[in-house]
Each structure stands twice: as structure tokens, then as C-alpha cells.
Amino acid sequence: MKFSDTFLLAFRTVKGNTLRTALTVAIIAFGIMALIGIITAIKAMNQKFTESFSSMGANAFTIRFKERNIRFGGGGDDLTVSQKGKKEKKSNLGRNISKEEAEYFINNYKFPGVVSGLSVFGNRSNTVSFADKKTSPNVMMFGGDEKYLELNGYTLLNGRNLTLQEVRNAQNVCILGYDVAKKFFDEAADKAVGKTVRINNLPYLVLGVLDSRGSTFGFSRDNMAIIGYRNLAKNFAGNNTSYVLAVKVDDINKMNEAMGEAEALFRGVRKTLITEESNFVMDKSDSMVERAMNSLGFLTISATVIGLITLIGAAIGLMNIMLVSVAERTKEVGLIKAIGGKSKVVKKQFLLEAVIISILGAIFGIILGILVGNSFAVVLGTGFVVPWGWVLYGILICSGVGLLAGLYPAIKAGKLNPIEALRYE
């Protein structure tokens, strides 16, 4: 008997037992759906992290007073995620970078082909008002210099950037995020330019409106206002404020050299002894994505465990179904052997039936998993994601499950005595 004939016979048998096949396929599909769905969601999160944290590009780095924590679970206050994704004890990090230290670095860092600037985060509980309209008290405020927009990947929808003179003189001028301007002028957000708004009841002239950047994990990145860092220090900043230094290199091959010179200069600014570790952190702009994804590793492990447990249950169920099928079709097996069918043909048929059921479960599970995972991608506002590697793994795993589950029933069917099988009631 040809393989194609055996396959068609196995397929017809699977098709003929609709309810039994559907239940087994559903169990296998659920396990694969859990695995592929979570992996797809993680890939969508990876896209979002890349978009959110790598706005400066791969040829930029920042200097901060401590590492940015990315947490997706519990943990003690004395733990932070390192660049290798491991948890380590804090060393001598923690002292804020002052305005004077940040300004000294900017004025004295003269590495060829770099653009450097400083910024500071105000808070996320500000209110902006114009005429009789007012935002909720959740507007984020950033203080920056004239290089802030360039170094953080912002583009202007309308208007102009802050000037060096306006920053130095701490003038009451600002740049509004798209959502804030839209609150006052609806779809004509660009009309906010030239108007005077009140930020926490202080008047500010709007110099420009930022182009929309969408949202990250449900939080708008357009609900913000940018002012000069000296103005923020004068009007809003408290004592617990640390400045961030950003550097963009014109040639990515000079990154390590530029970072080395920056570290050497800033160690002097921070008065760090030769025997001491640096009391600040230097981050490449694209390293945040890697660190964030390392922190998400437990989700991948969880998805794999859930999928494997479900598949083990599905394999046991499939084996039982195939054993029942052997018992029900004893006469059929006896007839095949009586007309000259060999034991290996019978074994092959039962193995093929198990594999067909498993692969059908894999296909439905993969489709459902991709749809579930991409529903999360829609919430994040990322593109359609397909984890092709895990799709292949899912098919291979399910094929293996089918072979293992069908092996014992196939051997049992192959060993049936044709005479006894034909007399079976």
C-alpha cells in the first residue's frame, strides 16, 4: 500500500470521527494558543520598547545618577535590573546630578562630532489651562535645553524650538505635546503656537506644538509640556531633582571612545576617587530595549510551561482516544491483515491519524495565538506581529506529541492477530 493511500485512509478516519477529533484538536490548540499568544504579545511589547526607548538612535547614550528600573513583578527596594538583566545590589549610586554638574559637563565635553544636552523631569501632575478650558492634573513636565528635541527624537508639528537665550534667561516659554494642544484647539492643535497658556497658573508663551507620538502601554506620550530647564528650576523643581545628560555621536564607530571620554570627565565632575566605582550610570539608548526584554523573560518561561503542561494532557488524551479507536476498529484491522495488509501499514495508519490530529490542533492554536497576541499589539499601537520561529516550533512540538501519543496504540494495532480480530465482538 502506497503512503498516499495510507494517508488518505487515515485522514478519512479522522474526518469520520468529528466530535472526538474536535475535542482532541481543541485541547492541543489551547496549549499552542497559550504559548504562541504570549510570545506574540511579548514581540509586540518588544516593538513598543524599541520605539519608546530608542528614539535617539543607536548612536546615542545618556548619563544618569542611577539605572532606570524596569519591573514587571515584585522585588526589594535595594534591587535594580543590570544591563545583563540580572538583579544586583546597588553600589554607590543614588546621589542626584545637580544643575551645576550637568552644566559643567555640557560646557566642557568637547569630543569631536557630538551633540550633547541636558534635561530634567519635573513631575506628572501639572495642569495646563487656556481661556475657559483646562486639562486634568496629569500633564508631564520636562525641562530641557535647545538640544532637547533633537536628542530625544521629537519633531515639531508647528512653531519653533527653544533658543539658547530663552533657556539661559529662564523665560516663560514652552512647547506643548499634541494632546495638550488638542485639548484647547481640537484637531487644529497647531493653532496653539503664539498663544499664552497657564501652566500651574503661571503664564507661558507657546513656541511650538510637537507632532503626535502615540501612547505606550496605555499612557500618552503627547500629554506633556517642555520648558527651559532653568525656568523649571526657578518655578517648579523641588529638592529631589536629578538631571539627565544626553550625547549623540555622528559616527557610531566612535561610540566607545566618546563614552570613555564622557565617563572620564564626569568622574572628575562628581569627584569620584580612582579606587571608587562611578557614582553614575551610562546607558546606550538601545540598551534599554535589551534590558526590558530580559526582564520579560519570565513571561516566556511561563508561556512555555503552560503550553507544555497542556500539551502533556493533550498527549495523554490523544493516546486514550487512539487506544479506544484500536478497540473499536479491531475487525477493520483484522480485515486489512486478512487481505494481505502488513503490520507496518496498520502501524503507519494509526500513527498518521495521531499526527494529523496533532497538526490540526497546532494550526488552529497558532492562528488563535497570533490573533490573541496581536489584540494586545492593537492596544499598544504596534504593527502586526508573527513569531515565525515559534510557529515552526509549535508545529514540530505537536508533530512530536502526535507521534508519541500514537506510538503505543499503533504498536498494539499492529500486533493484533487477524483471525482473532475478525471474530472480535
pLDDT tens-digit readout, 304-314: 787 778 778 77
Tell me whether strands 173-176 and 202-210 are parallel, antiparallel or unpaired. parallel
Average pLDDT value for residue range 79-83 = 40
pLDDT above 90 as % of the chain: 36
Average pLDDT value for residue range 327-356 = 79
Residue 216's pLDDT is 62
The residues facing 126 across adjacent strands are 139
Name 398's Cβ contacts closer than 8 Å, sequence gap at least 6.
Answer: 28, 32, 311, 358, 359, 361, 362, 365
pLDDT exceeds cutoff 70 at 45: yes
Confidence grade of residue 324 (pLDDT, cut at 50, 70, 90) = confident
Cell 530663552 sits at which residue?
166
Residue 54's pLDDT is 52
Query: When comparing pLDDT for 336 and 266, which is higher?
Result: 266
Residue 41's pLDDT is 83
> Considering the chain, what is the average pLDDT of its residues?
82
Confidence grade of residue 80 (pLDDT, cut at 50, 70, 90) = very low
Domain ranges of the chain: 3-50+296-422, 59-284
Measure the CA–CA gap between 411 and 424, rounded to whole angstroms: 18
Cell 491483515 sits at which residue?
337
Name 301's Cβ contacts closer than 8 Å, sequence gap at least 6.
Answer: none
Residue 223's pLDDT is 94
Residue 183's pLDDT is 93
Average pLDDT value for residue range 400-414 = 82
pLDDT exceeds cutoff 80 at 90: no
